[in-house]
Chains A and B, each alone.
Chain A
Amino acid sequence: MTGRPRALDVATGVAAAYASRLLAEVGWDVVKAEPPDGDPLRREASRWGGGVGGAFVFANVGKRGVTVDTLTLERLAAAADVVIGDFSPSGLQSMGLPHDAFEVLSPRQALTSVSAFGITGPKSGWVATDLVVQAASGLMFLTGEYDQPPMQLPPYQGAITGGVAAASATLLAVRSSRRDGKLHRTDMSTVEALAVHTAAQVSEYVYRGAVARREARVKGGLRMVPANDRFVYCAPGAVATMRMDGIATLLDEPRLAEARFQTAEGRMEHFDEFVGLFAPPFKRKSARQWFEEAEALHLTFALVQTIEDLFHCPQIEARQLLRTTEAPDGRQVRTPGRPYRSIGGPEPATRPAPARPGMHTDEVLAEWLGEAR
């Protein structure tokens, strides 16, 4: 008996798994139940090919793994404080759960479903991939260049965003349950979690009828320019607040300090001339050099880092954001830990994702159900 609150993760895929991983990151005892042949996510390759199982390794840090029959699963659920899974028709099918599992499973405090469209409403029977979630959320319409079709975000953005929201919803349900002693069921949708990003655009429409689209001229030097090795993100925040006197000093191009370039309106009006003066000087130095020199002039620049760059980032290193874990084949890999630091809070999770489905079945049955086998 550990005394820690218990969560049973019956999910396949990333969203619900990440939700229960976050509970592990704040000190919960989390058990992942998988079908006998394992969560299909173990076998999933990346968008680009290769990287098989990477998402599984990330989303299941901090959990023990069990494989059990449906009856035992119900008993584990009853011994848990919360159960998290995907209780949509397609989610139930991939977990091998009965169609009425959302009603039948009865953990002590909270039962959370996290699925693409949710389990009520006219689209509750719809199937989805992360591309479809991104598209349905309204966020994809705004992503990409204005003269091209909408572009996908990086992989699993709907799932991870939905996972953070579902973890929060689960803890809130637990809080409510402590108050009234009842089981609280929550029906999360990753589409809705991602749609929160578009609040401002929806307001712009319902108040004014204006439909925002993908942003114009991202390429053109207003936000991003190529340095001699990679890109610099040089106009963060509102373009209107860019300090052109500082930019003129930094780039040694006094004409950029002239009156016609001082406002966003002016830069748009004289766009070609502006870009002609602004972009070429960046070719003189590396992105990192511009990043450091901009800092000295109090200009807020950012590097356009690659995934490889993250492994060598001094800030990530200093704060130990990437922690070493183990892939099922025993390889040491680094994965983002708890997405924030907490001084005085619980220790973050360290246990690697279960290497094999069901590898902790015996010890979990003993601890949770008091069964010696």
Chain B
Amino acid sequence: MTDAPLAGIRVLAMEQAVALPVGTRHLADMGAEIIRVQSHARRAPGLAEIDLTRNKRQLALDLTVPGASEAFLAVAAKCDVVAHNYTPRVVRQFGIDYEAVRAVKPDIIYVSLTGFGTTGPWGERPLFGPGAEAVSGHNVLIGDADGWPGRPGTIVFADTTCGLNAAFAVIAAIDERDRTGKGQHIDVSLYETSVAQLGPVIVEAQLGAIPARVGNDDINFAIHGVFTCRGLDRHLAVTVHHDQTGLLTKVMGLAGATAFDLAEAVREREASDVADVLQSHGIAATLVADAGDASMDEHLWSRHYFGLVERHLGGMEGQVYPHIGPAWGSGAIVPMEESRPVGADSDAILRDLGGYSPDEVDDLFARGVTGVVQPATVSSAPGAGQTRIERGELSRVDPEHDGWRTAARGAGMLP
């Protein structure tokens, strides 16, 4: 797709975990060529990595083996962007830090994605996404006033946030390079991007607000909360402005305009039905959507929010599944492609970009500098579903879970 915005941009990403892979996936969705570098010494990827590795080429390098760093730099010299999410110490050890890459590609855009940033007293500390949520101040603002700190849903909130910011930083740096001819070193961290998400709160706190856990309250509204509806773990989110209370009592036939009245009125109703009624009168409300709801949401499908991936690996010959899209508001710019096995493109990349001869590439394989990992079989079974429900990990397991097909057909994405 030569007319995709990032067509012609090549990114070499030595990436692990979630944050950087999310960032480079955004770039892939806008047409960039992403070369994901990971070691073939690691285990084969499972289901979770499909979301993160689709639309990427795969170069396997074991940087602990002599010759691997040279191969990395040889490919880097042909790239617009080099990115990693290792600690500063590790990339120095491997000889692939900013200075080393800039020596082979002077206008390189080099991204270090770390826990706390590459400098400062905590600069060498490792940090994972959930820790970043805690240390940046998110957790103390989630939950009931008399409860413990909570945490943002999923275990990847800080990772996904950081990845999105990293993608912006790269896009801005490409724009800058195209205007000035200069590259830059982007130093982006889980901690700082999570702190930035709290920007309004940080300023409010200096102007007289006292941030705290307040459940689902917001003092600016007559009603601001979540109400349990009919069914297992079904809820309605509603916000009612002070000048809408009369409207609310009329529309819902309430005795009074309190949260208590509303809670009583919706307890045995379908959350999505109530949301439709309230929205038709201009009151902000929605079903609190779970993953199943999202997968079948006609609104999201109509906006081409989901893309379809035709799977071939891991015993899924020809099956089609929806995957979450880039959220850039333009639908899928490039077709979604299945993730490829670790190292699947090593041979082609090392020859075409690294400049190695076929014999030299054979030697790199023989010495374990590079390699290929066969994909694991992906199970479509939920795995001890009843146990996971009892533990509270799952809300339910739907035996039929392809309701998304109806929505996809409605959006013209399936015949």
Contacts and interface: CB of A to CB of B under 8 A. Distances in A.
B195 A321 contact: yes
Contacts of B126: 300
B180 to A, nearest CB: 9
Contact of B392 (A216, A304, A339): A216
B224 interface: yes
A161 B164 contact: yes
B230 interface: no
A175 B175 contact: yes
Interface stretch (B56-64, B233-241, B251-259): B233-241
B294 interface: yes
Given A131-B239, A207-B321, A300-B127, A314 B203 contact: no
B415 interface: no
A275 interface: no
B130 interface: yes
B203 A54 contact: yes
Contacts of A340: 165-166, 169, 186-189, 192-193
B149 interface: yes
A198 B212 CA distance: 26
B161 A161 contact: yes
Interface stretch (A97-105, A135-143, A246-254): A135-143
Contacts of B149: 224, 231, 304
A213 B291 CA distance: 9
Nearest to B153: A142
Contacts, number: 538
B289 interface: yes
Interface in A118-169: 118, 120-129, 131-132, 134-157, 160-161, 164-169
A319 B117 contact: yes
B291 A138 contact: yes
A197 B153 contact: yes
B237 A179 contact: no
A302 B289 contact: no
B199 A335 contact: yes
Contacts of B22: 196
A346 B180 CA distance: 10
B120 A315 contact: yes
Contact of B208 (A51, A210, A219, A233): A51
B116 to A, nearest CB: 5
Interface in A304-333: 304-310, 314-316, 318-319, 321-322, 327, 331, 333
Given A117-B299, A341-B187, A346-B176, A203 B47 contact: yes
Interface in B162-181: 164-169, 171-176
A165 B51 contact: no
A211 B397 contact: yes
Interface string A186-223: 11110011011111111111111111111111110001
Contacts of A154: 137-138, 141-142, 197-198, 201
Interface in B202-221: 202-212, 214-221
A233 B130 contact: yes
Contact of A46 (B183, B191, B209, B286): B209
A198 B211 CA distance: 26
Contacts of B401: 205-206, 208-209
Interface stretch (B77-85, B368-376, B379-387): B379-387
Interface stretch (B66-74, B89-97, B323-331, B346-354): B323-331
A8 to B, nearest CB: 18
A: contact size bracket? 35 or more
A14 interface: yes
Contact of A336 (B152, B184, B196, B285): B196
B144 interface: yes
B151 interface: yes
A55 B203 contact: yes
Nearest to A113: B329
B204 A140 contact: no
Contacts of B191: 315
Contacts of B36: none
A371 B329 CA distance: 36
A76 interface: no
A138 B327 contact: no
Contact of A175 (B5, B125, B388): B5
Contact of B329 (A144, A192, A201, A203): A192
A195 B300 contact: yes
Chain B CB within 10 A, most for which of A27, A141, A143, A174? A141
Nearest to A203: B51
B359 to A, nearest CB: 39
A295 B136 contact: no
Contacts of B152: 139, 143, 153, 157, 197
B185 A343 contact: yes
A313 B132 CA distance: 14
Nearest to B136: A305
A255 to B, nearest CB: 24
Given A54-B207, A118-B329, A224-B149, A137 B289 contact: yes
B318 interface: no
A172 B378 contact: no
Contact of A315 (B116, B166, B187, B328): B116
Chain B CB within 10 A, most for which of A18, A45, A125, A208? A208
Contacts of B216: 131, 149, 151-152
Contact of A339 (B196, B200, B322): B196
Contact of B137 (A147, A175, A236, A306): A306
Chain B CB within 10 A, most for which of A187, A210, A213, A305? A210
Contacts of B325: 192
B394 to A, nearest CB: 5
30 contacts: A45-B220, A47-B218, A51-B204, A52-B208, A54-B204, A58-B202, A59-B199, A131-B225, A132-B284, A140-B153, A150-B235, A160-B199, A161-B164, A168-B328, A169-B328, A171-B168, A187-B329, A200-B51, A203-B324, A206-B401, A207-B47, A208-B397, A209-B382, A214-B153, A215-B155, A223-B151, A307-B201, A314-B122, A333-B207, A342-B169
Interface of A: 14, 18, 22, 26-27, 44-55, 57-59, 112-114, 117-118, 120-129, 131-132, 134-157, 160-161, 164-169, 171-176, 179-180, 186-189, 192-193, 195-219, 223-224, 226, 231, 233, 236-237, 268, 295, 300-310, 314-316, 318-319, 321-322, 327, 331, 333-336, 339-346
Given A195-B300, A304-B135, 5 more contacts: A122-B302, A131-B284, A212-B393, A215-B155, A237-B129
